[in-house]
Amino acid sequence: MPFNLSRTALGLWRARKWNYSTKELENLISRVIDVGITTFDHADIYGDYECEVLFGEVLKSNSGLRTQMKIVTKCGIKIKSSKFSERIIGHYDTSKEHIISSVDKSLVNLNTDFIDLLLIHRPDPLMNADEVAEAFTELKSSGKVLDFGVSNFLPHHFDLLQSRLSFPLVTNQIEVSVLHHEHFDNGNIDFLQEKKISPMVWSPFAGGRLFNDGGEQAQRTKSMLSELQNKYGAAGIESIATAWLFIHPVNFIVVLGSVNIDRIKMALDGMNIKLTKEDWFRIWVASRGQNVP
């Protein structure tokens, strides 16, 4: 994996909703590290700006955990929040000033001296690529951030920012799952494979739709996953859903949002399942509802 990220990450976007005490969150972090997940994915805005703080309380309580993990965070979105009552609407801000101030705030919130990987959270139609590059270069030179990437960018967004940097963007975090194929269709996955860049994947279970959506697409796909679960002796359909991702040559890094250790282990088990090409396409066809041409 690039820059030593684990092949699977734990996403902290719901950490506030878990209602864990600092000790309970520390126990969860320790358990996922024990099963091989050492990458933790954040954003400044998660949990109305509170999830980084919750994580930072754990690192304040147990500083030794920091040496066992890679921290990813994002910036560039300003949400409408009671903390910023002057904001009329949520919007994007990729100015140099905002990027640097966001990082400084994340460092305080996370109780860490550096961030392993910083991502621009969303493409900003007002992005000044030269200004973003200045911010990235300053943050890298100061040691506050080690590596940089983007999130939800398309190839032309990625190329624009990369053209202003003297060092490589190392990832693009995008939504991909057995139910969500957008980035296969828009050329993004091919682009990233061409660049030898491993994308991070959010919502690998389609935000829970794989388990609780009664729609035709989800039901067709879930039925196929269940059939293949039996064929491969997998622990659950989660294993087949992640196997479908792990087998792809672009080398997806899968970001999980679950706190259920059994579900996490089933997802990790997908790394040990080598789907045949035909079975991979059986899932593709079930999801799309039509055969390949």
Q: Which residue numbers are catalytic?
A: 46
Alpha-carbon gap, residue 201 to 38, rounded angstroms: 16
Alpha-carbon gap, residue 246 to 248, rounded angstroms: 6
Q: Helix H segments across the chain?
A: 15-18, 22-34, 46-49, 51-61, 96-110, 129-142, 155-162, 182-185, 188-194, 209-212, 216-232, 237-246, 261-269, 277-288
Alpha-carbon gap, residue 210 to 219, rounded angstroms: 8
- 8 Å CB contact between 267 and 7: no
Nearest to 120 by CA among 143, 97, 152: 152
Q: Are strands 77-78 and 91-92 parallel, antiparallel or unpaired?
A: antiparallel
**Rounded to 5°, angle at Cα 144 from 141 and 147:** 75
Residue 56, amino acid: G
Alpha-carbon gap, residue 29 to 10, rounded angstroms: 9
**Cα dist from 20 to 51, 55, 189, whole Å:** 11, 11, 36
